[in-house]
Chain A
Amino acid sequence: MAKCVCVIAEFRNGNFRRVSFEVASEGKRVADALGLELYGVAVGSGVASKAAELGRYGVRKVLVRDDPALENYLAETHVPIVAEMVGRLDPAVILLPASVDGKDLGSRLGAKLRVALVQDVVQIVCEDGRVRAKWPIFAGKCFAWSEWLGGTLPVISCRPNVMSCREPDDSFAAEVENVDVPIPQARSHVKAIDYDTSGKVELSEAEIIISGGRGMKEASNYSMLEELAQLLGAAVGASRAAVDSGWRPHSDQVGQTGKVVNPDLYIAVGISGAIQHLAGMGSSKYIVAINRDPDAPIFSKADYGIVEDLFKFIPAFTEEVRKHKSTCS
């Protein structure tokens, strides 16, 4: 098969995850720049009947391995299957999502294929047929550019929420080819899987995040932020100080230790702005800081600053948002 750009799409719970479409869109851009076709690879239970959807984002053909045994991601089974499928395509570049499972698959796949992966890429540049990739280091305090040497196959995992999705072209369906790759015998296994059904917005995928810090004073005060989050369709995050104090679960922690987030709007409430926190949210599109202390470092990153007691401001702000929502809808 002629050289192509290959995207590895992530399929879970009967659907492609949104980030797969972002990666396909970026893959199409890279393929056009290199003058190559875009192909896809997808593994999962029920994926064959959905794979044509990738065509809307520019994928010409998708190789799929569909089996109920592949319902849940497991490195030991998925990596060898993907490696085999990718091998058949002989791509010039591989793109995949820098999601939790994508990052895991990518690292082991890179080692298996003896090629070099760059994770969490936010920008890809193609010049003279060569590919370079940019990714955040020190949680966004800096960025690094990488290039591949000696004809090494570039493998790139793309950070979710960064690469823009193409306008889907519903008239185009990808060709789907089932490939019969054996499922390897695995030693490890998925013992249980448990999805959160509370409807809570996932921090790493949220468009708006409201984070509370030390200034929240105690766990029960977060109900204020939750109410506001509900109105805005936002996720609630926390600083390390708040998590260390036991007010919020560790999964809510934003920062260099914790989650690096890049929502459209980040509202920092009672967060002074330690360097390690700023690193985790500094690439948000808009930042609002609410803090009593006018000298808090968080204001240096904020597009809009409010110097107020948060316990007075948040209820007033929530009320204004409520009024705004009712006039908009």
Chain B
Amino acid sequence: MNIVVLLKQTPDTESVIRIAGDGKSIVTDGLKWIINPYDEFALEAALRLKDKLKGKVSVVSYGPPRVVEALRTALAMGADDAVLIDDPVLKTADYLRVTKALTAAIKELNPDLIFTGSRAIDYDQGQRGAIVAENLDWPHLALAVAVDCDGSVVTIERPIEGGKVILESPLPALVTFGGAHAIWNPRYASLPGIMKAKKKPIAMKKVTDLGFDPANFEPETARIRITSLEKPAERKQGRIINGDLDVVGKAAELVRSLHEEAKVI
């Protein structure tokens, strides 16, 4: 069983996000970087499946050299090897091109299953998994909060509005992961795991290594781009309901405010 986990490094969820001077990117100085939580759930699910069925878990990512740290963490958690597409041309390429490069890197690993997060907590487009599956002409099962595989068929539970769906597919297939930390409880890297990870291979690739012409990744080829970022509108200064009111008085005043001022109850 060969499982590829596609992961992205993102700023930590507690990060304060600041807009950079160019008005269309974020300030990355001083950010703490983590494995995108949903990708970490995918990795945890892959490692559990490896424990059950034996086989190999490879992690694939793209981005600048800082991403090596995320890959080392994945290796320390129990992944076997890693590929990083570290190519400056990806910085200005649109996500469709980036996903083409990722698909090519994954193909070389010849997986039976591809696991990835249903979304990344940074730009939150939630498209990568479905696009890779479309590129490969594979079925994909999205937003798993539970997964099982017997080696030939993969089954997931997918929450939808007001219910849940059980989806099933023969391998090869791609699964995207939703849920929360409380469901997946991603393992921590153990000390021996960290030591072992130092010896595990991380293959660094450029798009030319994957058979692409870098010219196809130039900014002029982009089909979509971010023109600007903006901060959310400042919320109006709120009001603490106190005065000389007791608990019941405060409760009554809150009801009155919500009804007469906010008109929401």
B residues contacting the other copy or chain, number (CB 8 A): 85
The distance in angstroms between the C-alpha atoms of A19 and B162, with both chains bound, is 14
The interface-forming segment of B43-51, B81-89, B254-262 is: B254-262
Contact between B226 and A145, CB atoms less than 8 A apart = yes
Q: Which residues of B contact A138 (CB under 8 A)?
A: 11, 15, 17, 26, 121-122, 124
Knowing A100-B159, A265-B265 are in contact, say whether A190-B167 is a contact too (CB < 8 A): yes
Knowing A146-B225, A187-B169 are in contact, say whether A317-B255 is a contact too (CB < 8 A): yes
Knowing A149-B222, A204-B161, A286-B258 are in contact, say whether A137-B124 is a contact too (CB < 8 A): yes
Question: Does residue B208 face the partner (Cβ distance < 8 Å to A)?
Answer: no
Tell me which of A120, A287, A321 contacts B255 (CB under 8 A).
A321
Tell me which of A150, A187, A196 contacts B162 (CB under 8 A).
A196
Contact between A320 and B224, CB atoms less than 8 A apart = no
Interface size class of A (residues with CB under 8 A): 35 or more
Contacts A108-B131, A250-B179, A255-B13 known; list 8 others, CB within 8 Å.
A75-B142, A100-B159, A107-B127, A117-B127, A141-B16, A142-B26, A144-B24, A240-B180
Question: Does residue A90 face the partner (Cβ distance < 8 Å to B)?
Answer: no
Question: Does residue A5 face the partner (Cβ distance < 8 Å to B)?
Answer: no
0/1 interface trace, chain A 193-219, chain B, CB 8 Å (1 if under): 111100000101101100000000000
The interface-forming segment of A26-34, A43-51, A57-65, A304-312 is: A304-312
Pairs A–B under 8 Å by Cβ, sample size 23: A107-B127, A107-B129, A108-B131, A132-B227, A136-B124, A138-B122, A141-B232, A142-B229, A145-B227, A204-B161, A240-B180, A240-B181, A243-B181, A246-B182, A276-B13, A276-B14, A304-B238, A304-B262, A305-B240, A307-B240, A307-B242, A313-B251, A320-B248
Contact between B254 and A304, CB atoms less than 8 A apart = yes
The distance in angstroms between the C-alpha atoms of A232 and B134, with both chains bound, is 44
Question: Does residue A20 face the partner (Cβ distance < 8 Å to B)?
Answer: no
Contact between A100 and B134, CB atoms less than 8 A apart = no
Q: Which residues of B contact A137 (CB under 8 A)?
A: 17, 122-124, 229
0/1 interface trace, chain A 178-199, chain B, CB 8 Å (1 if under): 0000000011111111111000
Complex: chain A residue closest to B184, CB-CB: A250
Question: Does residue B145 face the partner (Cβ distance < 8 Å to A)?
Answer: yes
Contact between A250 and B227, CB atoms less than 8 A apart = no
Contact between B165 and A190, CB atoms less than 8 A apart = yes
Contact between B250 and A142, CB atoms less than 8 A apart = no
Contact between B223 and A148, CB atoms less than 8 A apart = yes
0/1 interface trace, chain B 175-215, chain A, CB 8 Å (1 if under): 00001111100000000000000000000000000000000
Contact between A100 and B254, CB atoms less than 8 A apart = no
The distance in angstroms between the C-alpha atoms of A99 and B161, with both chains bound, is 8
Contact between A107 and B135, CB atoms less than 8 A apart = no
The distance in angstroms between the C-alpha atoms of A317 and B253, with both chains bound, is 9
Interface residues of A (CB under 8 A from B): 17, 72, 74-76, 79, 99-101, 103-104, 106-108, 110-112, 114-120, 132, 134-150, 152, 186-196, 202, 204-205, 207-208, 232, 240, 243-244, 246, 250-251, 253, 255-258, 264-265, 274-276, 279, 282-283, 285-288, 294, 299, 301-308, 312-313, 316-317, 319-321, 323-324
The distance in angstroms between the C-alpha atoms of A118 and B127, with both chains bound, is 9
Tell me which of A108, A255, A275, A317 contacts B140 (CB under 8 A).
A108
Contact between B265 and A299, CB atoms less than 8 A apart = no
The distance in angstroms between the C-alpha atoms of A253 and B178, with both chains bound, is 12
Knowing A116-B223, A118-B224, A186-B139 are in contact, say whether A282-B232 is a contact too (CB < 8 A): yes
Contact between A146 and B258, CB atoms less than 8 A apart = no
Q: Which residues of A contact B170 (CB under 8 A)?
A: 187-188
**Total inter-chain residue pairs, C-beta < 8 Å:** 272
What's the least CB distance linking B236 to chain A, in Å? 7
Q: Which residues of A contact B262 (CB under 8 A)?
A: 265, 285-286, 303-304
Q: Which residues of B contact A317 (CB under 8 A)?
A: 251, 254-255
Tell me which of A74, A111, A193, A303 contacts B238 (CB under 8 A).
A303
Contact between B130 and A104, CB atoms less than 8 A apart = yes
Contact between A119 and B125, CB atoms less than 8 A apart = yes
The distance in angstroms between the C-alpha atoms of A43 and B226, with both chains bound, is 32
Contact between A264 and B124, CB atoms less than 8 A apart = no
The distance in angstroms between the C-alpha atoms of A129 and B45, with both chains bound, is 46
The distance in angstroms between the C-alpha atoms of A274 and B129, with both chains bound, is 29
Question: Does residue B96 face the partner (Cβ distance < 8 Å to A)?
Answer: yes
What's the least CB distance linking B95 to chain A, in Å? 8
Knowing A103-B126, A304-B238, A324-B255 are in contact, say whether A139-B168 is a contact too (CB < 8 A): no
Contact between A244 and B182, CB atoms less than 8 A apart = yes
Complex: chain A residue closest to B240, CB-CB: A305
Q: Which residues of A contact B133 (CB under 8 A)?
A: 75, 108
The distance in angstroms between the C-alpha atoms of A101 and B262, with both chains bound, is 33
0/1 interface trace, chain B 217-244, chain A, CB 8 Å (1 if under): 0000011111111111001101111100
The distance in angstroms between the C-alpha atoms of A56 and B258, with both chains bound, is 33
What's the least CB distance linking B187 to chain A, in Å? 15
Tell me which of B24, B123, B130, B160 contacts A100 (CB under 8 A).
B160
Most interface-central of A148, A256, A294, A302 (chain B CB within 10 A):
A256
